[in-house]
Amino acid sequence: MARGFITIQLPVSPSAPSLALEEVAAAGYRSLRRIRFPVGRLSVFVGANGVGKTNLYRALQLLQAAAAGTLARELAAEGGMASALWAGTRRAKQVPRIALSATFGLGGDGADAARHEYAVSAGASSYVVGIEVGWRTPIAAAFPLEPQIKEESLVHKYGKRAVTLFERRGPHVRARDATGERVEINRELMASETAFGALEDPGRFPDLHMIRQQMLDWRFYHDLRTDPASPLRQPCLAIAAPTLASDGSNLAAVLATLVHIRGDSVELDRAIVDAFPGARLVVPDPERTAGFGMVFPDYPHRVFDAGELSDGTLRYLGLMGVLLAYRLPAFIALNEPEASLHPDLLDPLARLIARAAQRTQIWLVTHSVPLADAIAAHAGVRPLSVIKRDGETWIDGLKLSGEFRDGEDEEVAE
C-alpha cells in the first residue's frame, strides 16, 4: 500500500461474534508524529495533561468519520489541515499527510471465540481499507485550505494473498462487486468525500458495507455534561433505547429499557449500592417521557430527580448508562470519565469498566492514576503510560516496531 494510508483490518465473516481492535497507528496528526501500537480488549491510557492522550482518542474518531463520509469536515472543524497536521519539524520536501490506521481481528473469551481466533491467526484473513488525506491539488474540486481525500483502498488479505476490493485514486474508483468482477464506479466524488462513506450498496459491495457498518457502531463518550442544561438532566421520549447516545440525551430511556423491558435491574442495583451505599435508583413506568431519580438513606421518603442530583452522582449514572446498556456497541471510547467524580467513586467505576469489558471492547483515556490503578486491579490489564518524547506523543515501553518491550503489554495478576 502507498505510504500514508489509513489501514483497517477486519475478519472475513460478518457473523463473527467478536471483532476486536488489535492495532492502531497514526502519523502526521497533531502531536502524533508516527506511532503504532497493539490494543487489547480493554486499553487504558494514562498520562498528564498536554501529552497528547486526547489526540490518540481523536484519531479513532477520524477513522469513524471516514466510514461516515465526514472525514474532511471533521478535519476542517479542527481548523483545517494547517491545524491538524503534525506541528513539529519535517524532512526537506516531505509532503504533509495525515495517516491513521486500525487493525481488527477476532478476539474475546470462550470456546467459540477461541476457534475464531485460531482461524484468523492461522489463515491471517483480514480486510484492509486505506485513506490518505492531504492538501488540495490544482485541479481538485476543493477550497484552497480544505482537507481532501487522496487515496482509498479496501484490501482483503488471506495468508500471503491480498485482493484489492476497492481502490480510489483521486476521483477514480474501482471496486470488486459481489461476483468478484472488478468494475469502474461511475460516481463523481468531490475531493472532500470518501468513497468508503459514499458507496452505500450492500447488495453490490457487501464487504465494504459490512466494514462500514461495523465502524459506524463505535461510540465515543467525552461530553457527558452535568451543568443545569445537561441532556442527562432532561426527561426524554419514552422510546426503547438499547445504547446510550454520545451526549447522554437518552439516559432516562436507557435506564427504563433495562428496568421495564429487560426486566432485570440486578446490575443497576449492584452499581448503585457499590457507589452509594444505602441509596436506590428509581425508574418510574414511562408514559410519554421517561425519567429517573435517586433515594438516599438520609431522606428515605424523598425522590431526587435528575435535575436535583449532584454533578458527580449524575455523571456516574451517565457512565452506568454507557457501560450497562441493554446492548453495548462494538467499541466504546471514554475520554477522562473521572471528571466531576468524587475519589470514592473511582473504584466502583473501575469495577463497572472491568465488567463491561467482558461484553465489548473499551478504550479509555485518563489522567487519573488512581482510576488506572483500580482498573488494573479489577480487570487485570496494565495501564499504558502516555508521555511526550522530543515533542511527540509516545507510549512508555513502546518500540519503534510497534511492539512493547517484554512484559510491558502483558496482563497483570488480579
> Average per-residue pLDDT in the chain?
82
Question: What's the whole-number mean pLDDT along residues 400-414?
Answer: 64
Distance separating alpha carbons of residues 63 and 196, to the nearest angstrom: 11
For residue 411, the model assigns a pLDDT of 47
Confidence band of 408 (pLDDT split at 50, 70, 90): low
For residue 141, the model assigns a pLDDT of 53
For residue 127, the model assigns a pLDDT of 36
Beta carbons of 349 and 316 less than 8 angstroms apart: yes
**Of 30, 8, 35, whose CA–CA distance to 19 is shortest?**
8
Residue 1 inside a domain? The answer is no
Same structural domain, 185 and 55: yes
For residue 101, the model assigns a pLDDT of 77
User: 90 or 14: which carries more pLDDT confidence?
Assistant: 90
> Is the per-residue pLDDT at 28 higher than 70?
yes
* Maximum Cα–Cα distance across the chain: 72
Question: What's the whole-number mean pLDDT along residues 128-139?
Answer: 49
Q: Rg (Cα) of the chain, in Å, rounded?
A: 22
Same structural domain, 152 and 249: no
For residue 169, the model assigns a pLDDT of 80
Same structural domain, 248 and 341: yes
Same structural domain, 228 and 266: yes
pLDDT above 70 covers a percentage of the chain that reads 81
Helices (H), 298-412: 311-324, 346-356, 369-379
- Residue pLDDT, tens place only, 141-169: 556 567 777 777 776 766 677 778 888 88
Residue 236 inside a domain? The answer is yes
Same structural domain, 155 and 16: yes
Burial 215-249 (b: 16+ CB within 10 A, else e): bebbbbbbebbbeeebbbbbbbebeebbbbbebbb
> Is the per-residue pLDDT at 119 higher than 80?
no
> Is the per-residue pLDDT at 287 higher than 50?
yes
> Is the per-residue pLDDT at 122 higher than 80?
no
Same structural domain, 74 and 91: yes
Question: What's the whole-number mean pLDDT along residues 262-275?
Answer: 93
- Residue pLDDT, tens place only, 181-236: 999 988 878 878 888 888 888 999 888 887 788 888 999 999 899 999 999 999 99
Distance separating alpha carbons of residues 3 and 43, to the nearest angstrom: 27
Residue 412 inside a domain? The answer is no
- Residue pLDDT, tens place only, 83-101: 888 878 877 667 778 887 7
Same structural domain, 53 and 16: yes
Beta carbons of 120 and 114 less than 8 angstroms apart: no
Residue 108 backbone dihedrals phi, psi, to 5 degrees? 100, 180
Half-sphere exposure of 115 (CA within 13 A, CB side): 5
**Of 35, 42, 6, whose CA–CA distance to 398 is shortest?**
35
Q: How many domains does the chain have?
A: 2
For residue 124, the model assigns a pLDDT of 24
Residue 94 inside a domain? The answer is yes
User: 137 or 188: which carries more pLDDT confidence?
Assistant: 188
Kindly report the CATH number assigned to the domain that includes residue 363: 3.40.50
Distance separating alpha carbons of residues 18 and 144, to the nearest angstrom: 43
- Residue pLDDT, tens place only, 183-195: 998 887 887 888 8
> Is the per-residue pLDDT at 131 higher than 60?
no
Same structural domain, 249 and 345: yes
Helix orientation angle between 369-379 and 346-356, rounded to the nearest 10 degrees: 40
Confidence band of 24 (pLDDT split at 50, 70, 90): confident
Same structural domain, 266 and 210: no
Please say whether the dihedral angle defined by the alpha carbons of residues 191, 193, 196 and 199, taken in this order, is positive or negative. Answer: negative
pLDDT above 90 covers a percentage of the chain that reads 50
> Is the per-residue pLDDT at 277 higher than 50?
yes
Same structural domain, 64 and 209: yes
Helix (H, G, I), strand (E, B) or coil at 233: helix
Same structural domain, 210 and 286: no
Distance separating alpha carbons of residues 329 and 311, to the nearest angstrom: 26
Domain range spanning residue 346? 221-377
For residue 229, the model assigns a pLDDT of 94
For residue 71, the model assigns a pLDDT of 85
Beta carbons of 332 and 42 less than 8 angstroms apart: no
- Residue pLDDT, tens place only, 319-345: 999 999 999 999 999 999 999 999 999
Residue 403 inside a domain? The answer is no
For residue 99, the model assigns a pLDDT of 80
Residue 400 inside a domain? The answer is no
Same structural domain, 292 and 239: yes
pTM of the model: 0.83
Helix (H, G, I), strand (E, B) or coil at 160: coil
Task: Mean pLDDT check: name the lowest of 121-135, 151-165, 186-200, 395-409.
Answer: 121-135
